[in-house]
Structure 1
Amino acid sequence: MRWLPLLCLLASLMPCGAKADPAEDVAGRACSALTARVAAVAGDDPLFLRSYDAGSGDGPNPVPALNAAFTYDNALAVIALRACGQLDAARRIGDALLAASEADRGGEAGRLRNAYRPGAVHETPVPPMGWWNADAQHWDEDPYQVGSATGNLAWAALALLTLAEATRDSEYTDGAVRIARWAAKASADARAPGGFTGGLYGYDDQAQPLGWKSTEHNVDLAAVFDWLARLQPAAGWQAPARQARDFVAALWDPARGRFWVGTLPDGVSINRANSGLDAELWPLLLAETPPEWQRALAYVEQSHAARPGFDFNDDRDGVWWEGTAQAALVYRLLGREAEADRLLKAVARRFSQGGLLWATDAARITTGLALSPGSTTDDFYYFRLPHLGATAWAALAARAWNPFTGRQFGARSVP
Structure 2
Amino acid sequence: MGISEDLRGPVSRRAFTAALTGGAAVVALGGCARAEPAGPGAETGVDEEEAVARAYTFLDRRVDEAAGGTRQGLPRSYTGGWMETHHSTVAFTYDVALTVIAYCARGTDADLRRAGALAGTLLALQDGDPAGDGRIRQSYASGKVTGADGLPAVAAADSFTGAQAWTGLALLHVHRATDGARYRAGALRLADWIQDRTASATGIPGHTGGLPASGPALTWKSTEHNIDVAAFFGRLADVTGDRAWADRAAVATGFLDALWNEDGPAFWTGTGTDGATVNRSPVPEDPQSWSYLATGDARHAGSLDWALTHLAAEDGGFSGVSVSDADTSKVWFEGTAHLAAALRRRGGDGDREEADRFLATLRAAQAHAPNADGYGIVAASSDGLRTGDGDTLYASLHTGTTAWFALAALGADPFLPE
Tell me the alpha carbon deviations over residues 235-262 of structure 1, each in whole angstroms, 9 at most, x when there is no partner: 6212211111111111111222111111
- Match for residue 182 of structure 2 among 171, 174, 188: 171
1:364 aligns with 2:349: no
When structure 1 is superposed on structure 2, of 97-106 and 187-196 the one drifting more is 97-106
Which aligned pairs between 1:112-191 and structure 2 lie closer than 5 A?
112-119=136-143, 124=149, 126=151, 128-130=153-155, 145-191=156-202
User: Where does residue 230 of structure 1 map in the other structure?
Assistant: 238
Superposed counterparts of 1:222-371, under 5 Å: 222-234=230-242, 236-287=244-295, 289-307=296-314, 308-314=319-325, 315-335=327-347, 336-351=351-366, 352-353=372-373, 355-369=375-389
Per-residue displacement from partner, 1:176-211 (whole Å, max 9, x unpaired)? 001111122111111231110111112xxx333222
Alpha-carbon contact 1:99-1:124 (below 8 Å) kept = no
**Corresponding residue for residue 61 of structure 1:** 84
8 Å contact kept, 2:341–2:409: yes
1:107 aligns with 2:114: no
Q: Deviations over 1:100-137 (max 9, x none)?
A: 222312232x111100111266765945434xxxxxxx
Alpha-carbon contact 1:115-1:146 (below 8 Å) kept: yes
| Secondary structure, counterpart of 1:309 in structure 2 | strand
1:274: how far off? 1.3
User: Are the structure 2 counterparts of residues 368 and 241 from structure 1 closer, same or farther at C-alpha, using a change threshold of 3 Å?
Assistant: same
Take 1:42 and 1:299, find their aligned partners in 2: how far apart are those partners?
Answer: 42
Secondary structure, counterpart of 1:69 in structure 2: strand
What amino acid is the match of 2:99? A
Report the alpha carbon displacement of residue 349 of structure 1 after superposing the two structures with TM: 1.8
The answer for the alignment partner of 1:30 in structure 2 is 55
Moved more, 115-124 or 325-334: 115-124
- Paired residues in the alignment total 358
Q: Distance in 2 between matches of 1:104 and 1:125?
A: 13
In 1, Cα distance between equivalents of 2:271 and 2:352: 34
Structure 2 unmatched ranges of 5 or more: 1-42, 367-371
Offset of residue 354 of structure 1: 7.4
Do the aligned partners of 1:71 and 1:116 also contact (CA within 8 Å) in 2?
Answer: yes
Counterparts of 1:38-49 in structure 2 under 5 Å? 38-41=63-66, 45-49=71-75
Aligned counterpart, 2:40: none
| 1:355 Cα deviation from its structure 2 partner | 3.3
How far does the alpha carbon of each residue in 1:353-385 deviate from its partner, in whole angstroms, 9 at most, with x for none? 27321100121111111xxxxxxxxx2121221
2:104 aligned to which of 82, 105, 123: 82
Q: Give the TM-score, by structure 2 length.
A: 0.80
Amino acid at match of 1:101: Q
**Separation (CA, whole Å) in 1 of partners of 2:205 and 2:289:** 21
Which amino acid in 1 is paired with 2:341? L
TM-score, normalised to structure 1, is: 0.81
Question: In structure 2, how many angstroms separate the alpha carbons of the residues matched to 1:129 and 1:147?
Answer: 10
Distance 1:122 1:393 in 2: 30
SS in 2 for 1:116: strand
Give the 3 Å change call, closer, same or farther, for CA 163–211 of structure 1 in structure 2.
same
CA distance in 2, matches of 1:48, 1:312: 26
Work out whether 1:385 is the aligned partner of 2:396: yes
Give the whole-Å Cα distance in 2 for the aligned partners of 1:249 and 1:319.
29
Give the share of equivalent positions with the same residue, in percent.
Answer: 36
Return closer, same or farther for 1:224/1:311 CA change in 2, 3 Å cut-off.
Answer: same
Shift of 1:29: 2.0
Pairwise CA RMSD of aligned residues? Answer: 2.3
How far off its partner does 1:61 sit? 2.7
Larger Rg belongs to? 1
Match of 1:201 among 212, 235, 240: 212
> What SS does the aligned partner of 2:218 have?
strand
Q: In 2, Cα distance between the equivalents of 1:398 and 1:354?
A: 16
